[in-house]
Amino acid sequence: MGLSTVVISVVHGVLWGIILGAASTGLTLLWGVMKVVNVAHGEILLIGSYLIVILYAFLGLSPYIGLLASLALGLITGLAIYWGMLHKLVGKVEKVTLKIEMSTLLIMFALSVALSNSYYHFIGSEPKGLGLWHFGLKSSIDIGSVVVRTNSILAAIVAVIIVAALHLLLTRTTLGKSIRAVMQDAQAASLVGINPVRIKMLTTMIAIGVTTLSGFLIVLHETAIIPGTALIYTPLAFVIVVLGGLGNVLGSFIGGIIIGLIYGLSKAIIALTFNPLASAPLALSTAFIVLILVLLFKPEGLFGR
């Protein structure tokens, strides 16, 4: 019985980890390329989640359309965030100092306050979800002795596609190469003819776009979301980004899987040795202890030089 508890917990943990990994890539881009500390990450994820839910529940539109709409809305939101908030702070700056970095943190927090209270006010604190929609398939799938919800598995598959697409964008296209050039050295990049302002704007759009897109994954995995859902995803995304190394998209993805694995494993162990009721919070606390340890001993991330 003990072993199967562990297996079930780990499988669920890893599936969640894959989703977390994909949902954290936008954060790593913003922080790595632009030194913007996006503490509104969770709330921005929920922009996508809520859009999909609203289109589905109120307008009867398929979540597939919602998926595209959330990407589009994310790109537009990214554009607005860049010109409305970030350009003045980091747009023309070649070397982002600690003070500027802190200003980005504060302004993104202001955004998170405004967004999360908008959710409470305009949408409400009741759980919202896609109800019985699960890609037109059975609601759950048996893998051996483990029963997994269809939506979690498909969300994980979509997560892998998102990460692969973003990785290809960054490594195979001129735009992606320019973004990585700016990340490494904005000054040198501008010397070879890259316009850093344009790249920063596009980076913000892509980062926010991929984040709202990942909102789809969250709503599928969580079944139902509330405004407070953001409060779990923001700090976990930071854990994952630090683990993967700033600006490292694949690193974040793997970091997400590691955190999911640690969560699943420690949850099972705590449930078996202490008390199942305490297992979820204590397992989450291990993720944050991992964060502090990585920051102290390997601040460049697990895959850094």
Point out which residues bind other proteins (CB under 8 A). Answer: 31, 35, 37, 39, 85, 88-89, 98-99, 101-103, 105-107, 109-115, 117-118, 121, 231, 235, 238-239, 242, 270, 275, 277-282, 284-285, 288-289, 291-292, 295-296, 299
Q: Which residue's CB is nearer to other proteins, number 88 or number 138?
A: 88
78 and 206 Cβ atoms separated by less than 8 Å: yes
CB of 107 to other proteins, least distance (A): 5
Closest CA to 263 of 41, 3, 39, 6: 6
Strands (E), the chain: 128-129, 140-143, 146-149, 224-225
CB of 177 to other proteins, least distance (A): 26
Query: Going by C-beta distance under 8 Å and a sequence separation of 6 or more, which residues neighbour residue 170?
Result: 176, 177, 179, 180, 249
Q: Which residue's CB is nearer to other proteins, number 67 or number 201?
A: 201
Local structure of 1: helix, strand or coil: coil
Q: Parallel, antiparallel, or unpaired: how do β-strands 140-143 and 146-149 relate? A: antiparallel
Q: Which residue's CB is nearer to other proteins, number 52 or number 89?
A: 89
CB of 229 to other proteins, least distance (A): 14
Q: Which residue's CB is nearer to other proteins, number 85 or number 220?
A: 85
Under DSSP, the state recorded for 304 is -
Q: Which residue's CB is nearer to other proteins, number 66 or number 244?
A: 244
Report the sign of the C-alpha dihedral through residues 136, 166, 110, 290, in that order.
positive
CB of 97 to other proteins, least distance (A): 9
CB of 185 to other proteins, least distance (A): 18
| Alpha-carbon separation of residue 257 from 156, 161, 263, 280 (angstroms) | 11, 15, 10, 17
Q: Which residue's CB is nearer to other proteins, number 206 or number 287?
A: 287
CB of 224 to other proteins, least distance (A): 19
